[in-house]
Amino acid sequence: MTDLHRIESAHLGNLRDIGGRPTSDGGLVATGVAYRSAELADEAVVDDPDLAALAVRTVVDLRTGAERAARPDRVPAGAQLVELDVLADLSTGAAAQVATLFEEHGGRIEGLDVAGQMQSTYRSFVTSAAARAAYAQLVRLVIDPDRLPVLFHCTAGKDRTGWAATILLLAAGVTREEADEEYLAVNPAVRAAYAPLLEQFAASGGDPDALAPFLEVRAEYLQAAFDQVDESYGSFDAYLRDGLGLTDGEVEALGGALRAG
């Protein structure tokens, strides 16, 4: 089945438009408003004609400072970069280590509960002060018409970015099923991007299956975030207002900004 949300790009991986999905009241999420992707590390991104056609005004980098320093964003011409570190206050915790797990896999990945660590990380997207501040600021960028279109990303564009897309889609009025579908739809692109790493890992004697939980998105990861939303706030609407600190006006504006027509 053709993925209508995927955008082909020679220089930017996992590029998608989150728009076009139906809402529960019969509407549609607007296209051309919010895009998601992997990191913008390729120098050719700056002058890529396919990206220029998207006319992105704001690029939101959800990565850590260390990730940005190692592979800085190459921002498309005409766009402004905004850095929002979702894991900023977790640098000494287990959840933050997911961002550098590959660099640390030598002798450590075998026996590590990667899936459990990923679920812990997703819970931190909901509870940590840095994550809540980052996602709130992303929302405020999306409701500012002078900032649109927005392109948000992390490293692979699957976890921090996946939760960001989920927030925006649910606020726009899509069903949980549609949000889950968008979240899981990145798996083919992510697996293709990480295939060389898996081959290298296997060639060095590692077990590729041990890395698999980190190299894909899984329904149980997203469910861990929703479970934390229920535990901490009672509902997704309360998470928007009490967790992210959005006003009723901002929540309404977010839905309006993301709705077609």
What CATH number is attached to the domain comprising 215?
3.90.190.10
DSSP-derived secondary structure letter, 57: -
| 74, part of any domain | yes
Segment-wise mean pLDDT, segments of 10 residues, the chain, 261 residues: 87 96 96 98 93 96 94 95 93 45 49 84 96 98 98 96 98 97 96 82 76 89 98 98 98 96 72
Q: Distance between CA atoms of 151 and 139, rounded to whole angstroms?
A: 12
Residue 109, pLDDT score: 57
What would you measure as the largest C-alpha separation in the chain, in angstroms?
Answer: 55
| 123, part of any domain | yes
| 68, part of any domain | yes
Residue 91, pLDDT score: 55
Residue 227, pLDDT score: 98
| 2, part of any domain | no
| 4, part of any domain | no
Residue 21, pLDDT score: 96
Residue 99, pLDDT score: 45
Q: Distance between CA atoms of 64 and 99, rounded to whole angstroms?
A: 8
| 132, part of any domain | yes
80-83 and 58-61 beta bridge pairing: parallel
Q: What is the pTM of this model?
A: 0.92
Q: Distance between CA atoms of 51 and 61, rounded to whole angstroms?
A: 16
| 158, part of any domain | yes
- Number of domains the chain is built from: 1
Query: What b-and-e string marks burial along 128-166, b requiring 16 or more CB atoms within 10 Å of the CB?
Result: bebbbbbbbebbebbbeeebbbbbbbbbbbbbbbbbbbb
**Containing domain of residue 137, as a range?**
16-258
CB 240 within 8 A of CB 172: no
Residue 101, pLDDT score: 53
Q: Distance between CA atoms of 40 and 49, rounded to whole angstroms?
A: 15
| 104, part of any domain | yes
CA 214 to chain CA centroid, Å, is: 14
Among 159, 158, 162, 167, residue whose Cα is nearest residue 138: 167
